[in-house]
Amino acid sequence: MNPDALSAALLAVVAPLAEARRPGAAEGLTSADLPLERPKNRDHGDWASNAALKLAKAVGANPREFAGEIAAGLREVDGVADVEVAGPGFINIRLDAAAAGSLAQTIVEAGAAFGTNESQRGNTINLEFVSANPTGPMHIGHTRWAALGDSMARLLLASGATLVREFYVNDAGAQMERFGRSVLAAAKGEPTPEDGYPGSYIDDLARRVVAVVPDLLSLPADEQLLVARDRAYEFQLGDLQASLAKFNVHFDVFFSERTLHAKGPDGGPSLVDEAVDRLREQGHVFDDEGAVWVRTTDFGDDKDRVIRRSNGEYTYFAADAAYYLNKGDRGFAHKIYLLGADHHGYVHRLKALAGAAGDDPQKDIEVLIGQLVSVNGARLSKRAGNIIELDDLREWLGTDALRYSLARYPADSPLTLDPEILRKRTNDNPVFYVQYAHARTHNVARNAHGSGVDRSQFAPELLTHGTESALLGALQEFPRIVAFAAEMREPHRVARYLEELAGLYHRWYDNCRVIPLGDEPVEAVHRTRLWLNDATGQVLRNGLDLLGVGAPERM
């Protein structure tokens, strides 16, 4: 019996009892109103409910007395071995071994689908993360946002959301002009401009540009700059995309900022032009001293924002507005922005923008701020000179170790990684600990096959050892962990769950044999334990995949 089935059974018991005590009390009551929890002390059973405490006042009952009525009803449910009432009205539920053990077969048969759920069904989400300037290599900060953003996307998709991963390419503005001048100077053999971008990667880009445009320096001066800028931009964006792919991060959309400023057909208004008019229609735009303003203070911003200066130039806020509106035009009702630690000022600004656009700032937009990450002993990039590059970190620590470690902590907590631990092949290294547990499940399966143990029998009532009960209890939790992590946007919950599951598996491995000793015959219990072994491997594999981490079969 899985948690959802038990929740449904609990509702079926509670609803008529509540209705009998007070007509109408059960109206609108759902399983979600009667959450089950795993007791910290397994001696208290497999599941616990506070349904009686929660509903006692509404039905006019003594909590402990009401809990006794619920317990009596639950004892009649197939698969429930015993129910006890504890304290002021807590209900502790113990499943019979067969009901609990049947989960192993369910997991194996579900395969990669186990853990998926429908909790985010109906949500159409645009998740924007990383969004690095295409003027240089990605650095250590982008590394954290890449790992977290991609894992969030995987969780939301596994929970039924319709989602697009989006990278906003900041390819317009002054930084692109500085980038172009830096590349052109390198092509000419001149020093880097005072406000330009340093680093040997600029020299590399210049050589690549000259290789495809050998007559670059023969072009008119203004054309030289445009060609150097745009060709180098293409190369650098391609390098960013390649770095992300090697880090196992996928984007569905690379959205160019230039498209916001481009004129429409036949020289019509750009998306930025249209954004001003659309916000004005919502009633939150006003004119003052020749400038156009958005009254963002109506939605909690600390000051109103200029969207178009008195000289006719648009501010960066105008691009933000056009981009936000464009996401809605593409059908995304919910927008999630994952921004770096230096973007705290954007939170109120973007939420106010959502309100000015006619959306609900509390519902239709999320702005998540990630904190800084550092790595002990990491060296600055030889190519860029002033940053720690994603590619260098990945080659040094490995994609799996880096992604797992970055996903293992909440986004809003500063993080310092210890490379000595991450490079160890010991249980001190969390990713090794989890991956080793997965590899061990495959090793057990291989050895079982060689010893004649297969899955031709399944007798879940034989899974009675304490470590088996604990392992099954943890396996039951996986779909709920996935749904909750998706709802909270917290991939670290999956990582911590996997570490707990790995520990329970290792303890089970030490106590319960899948392969008979010596000349002992192969029995039903051995074949049934193989199901449990393979179910654990499947959940470990599914969880690691949600974090973008590999699940090796041998280590």
Please state which of the ranges 186-190, 345-349, 375-379, 392-396 shows the lowest mean pLDDT. Answer: 375-379
R_g of the chain, CA atoms, integer Å:
29
Tokens of residue 402, six digits: 């880096």
Whether residue 380 is predicted with pLDDT greater than 90 in this model: the reply is no
In sequence order, the β-bridge partners of residue 308 are 292, 314
pLDDT of residue 340: 85
Whether residue 297 is predicted with pLDDT greater than 70 in this model: the reply is yes
Contact criterion met (CB below 8 Å) for 275 and 285: no
| Residue 99 binned pLDDT confidence (cut-offs 50, 70, 90) | confident
Whether residue 384 is predicted with pLDDT greater than 80 in this model: the reply is no
d(CA 532, CA 397): 33
Q: Work out the burial of residue 218: count CB atoms within 10 Å of its CB; fewer than 13 is exposed, 13-18 middle, 19 or more buried.
A: exposed
Structural domains present in the chain: 3-95 (3.30.1360.70), 106-119+424-546 (1.10.730.10), 124-171+250-373 (3.40.50.620), 174-246 (no CATH)
pLDDT tens string 409-428: 999 888 899 999 999 999 99
d(CA 330, CA 340): 25
pLDDT tens string 58-89: 999 999 999 999 999 999 999 999 999 999 99
| Residue 1 binned pLDDT confidence (cut-offs 50, 70, 90) | confident
Q: At what angle do helices 524-546 and 466-488 cross, to 10 degrees?
A: 20
In sequence order, the β-bridge partners of residue 125 are 163, 334
Whether residue 379 is predicted with pLDDT greater than 90 in this model: the reply is no
CA-wise closest residue to 142 among 249, 229, 288, 6: 249
Contact criterion met (CB below 8 Å) for 287 and 349: no
In sequence order, the β-bridge partners of residue 305 are 294
Contact criterion met (CB below 8 Å) for 322 and 278: no
Output the pTM of the full model. Answer: 0.90
Q: At what angle do helices 466-488 and 492-511 cross, to 10 degrees?
A: 170
pLDDT tens string 436-447: 999 999 999 999
d(CA 115, CA 480): 8
d(CA 129, CA 131): 6
pLDDT tens string 174-216: 999 999 999 999 999 999 999 999 999 999 999 999 999 999 9
| Residue 433 binned pLDDT confidence (cut-offs 50, 70, 90) | very high
pLDDT tens string 35-55: 888 887 777 888 999 999 999
* Angle, CA 189 vertex, CA 184 and CA 193 arms, to 5°: 55
What is the rounded average pLDDT of the residues 293-322? 93
Contact criterion met (CB below 8 Å) for 129 and 149: yes
pLDDT of residue 382: 64
CA-wise closest residue to 319 among 135, 170, 166: 170
d(CA 395, CA 328): 39
Contact criterion met (CB below 8 Å) for 509 and 536: no
What is the rounded average pLDDT of the residues 386-405? 92
CA-wise closest residue to 375 among 359, 395, 355, 357: 395
Please state which of the ranges 26-30, 342-346, 372-376, 382-386 shows the lowest mean pLDDT. Answer: 382-386
Tokens of residue 390, six digits: 């994603």
pLDDT tens string 464-509: 999 999 999 999 999 999 999 999 999 999 999 999 999 999 999 9
Tokens of residue 510, six digits: 């030490």
DSSP string, 104-126: HHHHHHHGGGTT--STTTT-EEE
What is the rounded average pLDDT of the residues 143-162? 97
One-letter amino acid for residue 549 of the chain: V
